[in-house]
Structure 1
């Protein structure tokens, strides 16, 4: 790995919270690891063991966790992880791709671009 890449990778923790996923069809955004709602990444508080026990995969996408317009959380999660009750169900749009966005200091969003780093 080159010196440049190593130094870029060191920036990840500094910019991670500024890169948000905007849900389109939900097929590209990681349910557990990407930042797509105020409570995410969900992996920060839902264990890999609980994810697996519930029948989800660590590779699950947001789209796979919504059924008939409702989250498919196990009922016991709503008590164990009460923050899940505050996450609005994402509206999936089949002909719209998920996109990355920068979260600006004023809370607004702008299109993701590496040049803005």
Structure 2
């Protein structure tokens, strides 16, 4: 699971890999990662990435720069989390913001541009957005961040070790652990039992 998550990190972090632009252009046909439908024509690697989309909000955040890369509905760029999980599939049509919209698409003339609120959630969204500076080209590119530990911090680097620690279920230490585990090897259990 850690290595599947790392591939997703590479996809979002603009790692410089040739694989990422090739995947975006040739497999996803320049569609948003969140909107691509899983298909048997995709490799096992790509399908495994798509199957993890629902769990990414625990690990992946987006820092807004120019707002052109971040998905308005699906990336975790506000304190509310992915907005699609709050508003559902019907509200984006009512709000006139397309599902494939970037954060920059919700800005006009340097200000947030949203129609009047029609629900409590929409009003909450407008209140949250009013506290955020709208993205501009002067802010540089959007950056994606990965969870850096159990306390909730995020960094611009992926750590397999930290991700593994976040994923694994820890069990209490058993009294016989020293019989099996050593610092650099493990013991031949049958010979130690006599």
TM-score scaled to structure 2, two decimals? 0.49
Asked if the contact 2:112/2:134 (under 8 Å) is kept, the reply is no
Q: Counterpart of 1:48?
A: 89
Are residues 1:92 and 2:132 paired? no
Aligned to 2:146: 102
Change (3 A) 1:103 1:37: farther
* 1:20 paired to 2:64: no
Report the equivalent of 2:156. 111
Task: Work out which of the residue numbers 64, 80, 103 in structure 1 matches 2:120.
Answer: 80
Q: How far apart are the structure 2 equivalents of 1:74 and 1:15?
A: 29
Summarize deviations over 1:46-94 as a string: whole Å, max 9, x none: 23322123322101100110224432222124x4313211343334241
TM-score w.r.t. the length of structure 1 is: 0.74
Cα distance change on mapping 1:51 and 1:93 into 2, 3 Å: same
Size of the aligned set, in residue pairs, is 115
1:109/1:93 CA distance change after superposition, 3 Å: farther
Say which one has the larger Rg. Answer: 2
Of structures 1 and 2, the one scoring higher in RCO (CA 8 A, sep 6+) is: 1
Q: CA RMSD in A?
A: 2.8
The change in CA–CA distance for 1:31 and 1:115 in structure 2 (over 3 A counts) is: same
The 1:25/1:60 distance shift into structure 2, 3 A limit, reads: same
Gaps of 5+ in 2: 1-42, 164-194
Deviations 1:32-58 (A, max 9, x none): 011111112111122332212332210
